[in-house]
Amino acid sequence: MLGRMPLSPLSTAESVICRPYYTLNTPNSLPNLATSRRPHARGECSVFGREVTASGKWRLHSADKTLSAAVLEDGEKTKAWEECRRLVSSFDFTVEEADAMLGKAFGWVHSPYWGEERERQVPSHEAVGETLTYLRDLGLSDDDLRKLLKKFPEVLGCGLDEEVKVNVGLLKSSWGIKGKALTKLLVRNPKVLGYNVDCKGDCIAQCTRCWARF
């Protein structure tokens, strides 16, 4: 789980690293997944994983280097992440927003939906593309998909055949929800695409993925 990095008692003036304008999250940079904030503005500095602005206010900066290390060691993973980032960014999301969404979907950023169970993965361009294509084929417009991804980015990390398609099938067969009614439902409550348990009223503590919420 991501957390704040404590300020070292040994920090001195030399520990403060001033960063130039927009040095983070350039098209070829690695994602800052601990937060989806905008890139550094002029005058901001970093101290042991935190940022201090000219006004003296502290902000959280990424303290988790796990993804950066994993991707830096493998050029194929870097390429895969950047390709997936481009797919998500095409729905008018910033680089930071796209990275945060992919981070939530694939276990690099904590999400209540997964709890502690999601294994960290570098996403597959093909898998992410297939999920987006399937959702579009249901009748969702690009604007609909933007709203859906903003509410439930974890859908990109759900199994397309095992969860997403199965759940759409249940909505059609069990509830008779089809066509425009289906697309409106998915935009309003996209988490239904990730439901994969049904406690039937006998709670098993997996409420974020349970059909009992529907």
Same domain, 118 and 165: yes
Same domain, 6 and 53: yes
Of residues 3 and 139, which shows the higher confidence score? 139
Lowest-confidence range among 69-83, 123-137, 178-192?
69-83
Structure confidence at residue 116 as a pLDDT band (50, 70, 90): confident
Same domain, 30 and 118: no
- Given a cut of 90, whether residue 104 has pLDDT beyond it is yes
The b/e string for 162-186 (b: 16+ C-beta within 10 A; e otherwise) is ebbeebbebbeeeeebeeeebbebb
- Given a cut of 60, whether residue 14 has pLDDT beyond it is no
Same domain, 34 and 77: no
Same domain, 110 and 181: yes
Q: Give the whole-angstrom CA distance, residue 210 versus residue 188.
A: 17
What is 117-167 written as a DSSP string? -PPP-PPPHHHHHHHHHHHHHTT--HHHHHHHHHH-GGGGGS-IIIIIHHH
Instruction: Please answer whether residues 192 and 99 qualify as being in contact, where contact means their C-beta atoms are separated by less than 8 angstroms.
Output: no
Q: Give the whole-angstrom CA distance, residue 55 versus residue 76.
A: 41
Could you tell me the two tokens for 125? 């361009």
Q: What is the CATH number of the domain that holds 167?
A: 1.25.70.10
Same domain, 74 and 171: yes
Total tally of structural domains belonging to the chain: 2
pLDDT in tens, 32-70: 444 444 443 333 333 323 333 343 332 323 334 556 666
Of 31, 26, 99, 128, residue with least CA distance to 70: 31
Phi, psi of 45, deg, nearest 5: -130, 160
Q: Give the whole-angstrom CA distance, residue 42 versus residue 29.
A: 19
The reported pLDDT for the residue numbered 161 is: 96
The reported pLDDT for the residue numbered 77 is: 86
Residue 49 host element (H or E)? none
Same domain, 115 and 187: yes
- Domain of residue 180 covers 67-213
Mean pLDDT on 181-202:
80
Average pLDDT over the chain reads 72
The reported pLDDT for the residue numbered 129 is: 98
Domain boundary among 34, 64, 94: 64
Structure confidence at residue 115 as a pLDDT band (50, 70, 90): confident
Those residues whose C-beta lies under 8 Å from the C-beta of residue 52, and which sit 6 or more positions away, are 16, 44, 45, 46, 58, 59
Residue carrying structure tokens 């991501």: 2
C-beta neighbour count of 80 within 10 angstroms: 20
Same domain, 72 and 58: no
Share of the chain above pLDDT 70, in %: 57
Of residues 165 and 205, which shows the higher confidence score? 165
DSSP 205: S
